[in-house]
Amino acid sequence: MGLLDLPAPLLDAIDGVLGWIGVPALLRVMLSGLAAGVAGAWVYRRFSPQARLGALRAELGAVQAELRGYDGPFSGLMPLIRRQFALSLRQLRITAGAAVLAGLPALLILPWLSNRYEVAFPPPGPPVRICAEPAGVAWTTRDPALSADAQGCLDLPWPDAARPVAVREDGRDLIVLPTPQPSRIVHDRRWFNGLIGNPAGYLPDQARTRQLRLDLPPRELITVGPAWLRGWEAAFFTAALLSSLWLHRRWRLY
């Protein structure tokens, strides 16, 4: 687990309870988006100086109205443009910190959603293509009839969890399939894993194989429409955006 994965056990527990009582996966993802949108709007409201922003917006509106009605020489126009630009920059500076904080709830939920809803394990039996990088490393499984081709790829019949299969390099196990959680990429531990961990685990540091790509099927929450609409991303971001916009309007946030 990385730093941003710390909420994962709590989110797993909540998601598990909702799934146990029969809430569909699509609705659970949308509820996550709703929570992120509400939390982000509340954080922005709490940490942004709304009184100062209101006065600033009123001043900016007055300058913009003066610009729209201006009908004088060009020399008189430049001070108004500079004033508008300065007020806009001041508004950006005042809201920058609160806007960053408002994004933290979504940032804490996104890694968990990606790990849980991005891909799924196939049923045992159908072949899954696995490719190693670099391609020149010879790797195999315990089955001598299965070995990687010249491109470093192998079509491996997906194993049952009760009968796992080890992926090996030079007689040493790299990973065991199925992995603890589904993931399309398994690599050695890298610096960014301190922030976001790989749910499938990591390759040994001494291995020559730097990365394994598993062609796992995507998890679809919607069975119709284009591919980008079927995953968790569209449902999450739609719910987060709509809830955030509604609260910004309701609370009259600047």
Name the DSSP class of 179.
P
- Say yes or no: 89 and 146 in one domain: no
pTM of the model: 0.85
Residue 173 has pLDDT above 70, yes or no: yes
Terminal alpha carbon distance of the chain: 37
> Do 85 and 79 contact (CB within 8 A), yes or no?
no
Question: Structurally, how many domains does the chain consist of?
Answer: 2
pLDDT tens digits for range 63-85: 988 888 888 887 788 888 899 99
Does residue 226 lie within any of the structural domains?
Answer: no
Q: Can you give the residue range of the structural domain that contains 36?
A: 3-116+232-250
Kindly tell me if the per-residue pLDDT of 187 is higher than 80: yes
- Domain match, 64 and 112 both: yes
pLDDT tens per residue, range 203-227: 998 888 999 999 999 999 998 889 8
CB 210 within 8 A of CB 134: yes
Phi, psi of 78 (to 5 degrees): -60, -45
| Torsions phi, psi for 218 (to 5 deg) | -70, 150
Query: Is the same domain home to 130 and 111?
Result: no
Same domain, 17 and 32: yes
> What distances in angstroms separate CA 94 from CA 50, 84, 149, 204, one per listed residue?
10, 15, 58, 47
pLDDT in tens, 108-143: 999 999 999 999 999 999 999 999 888 877 777 766
In a domain, 236, yes or no: yes
The amino acid sitting at 114 is S
Q: How many CB atoms lie within 10 A of CB 41?
A: 23
Same-domain pairing of 197 and 171: yes
Same domain? For 15 and 87 the reply is: yes
Does one domain contain both 8 and 80?
yes
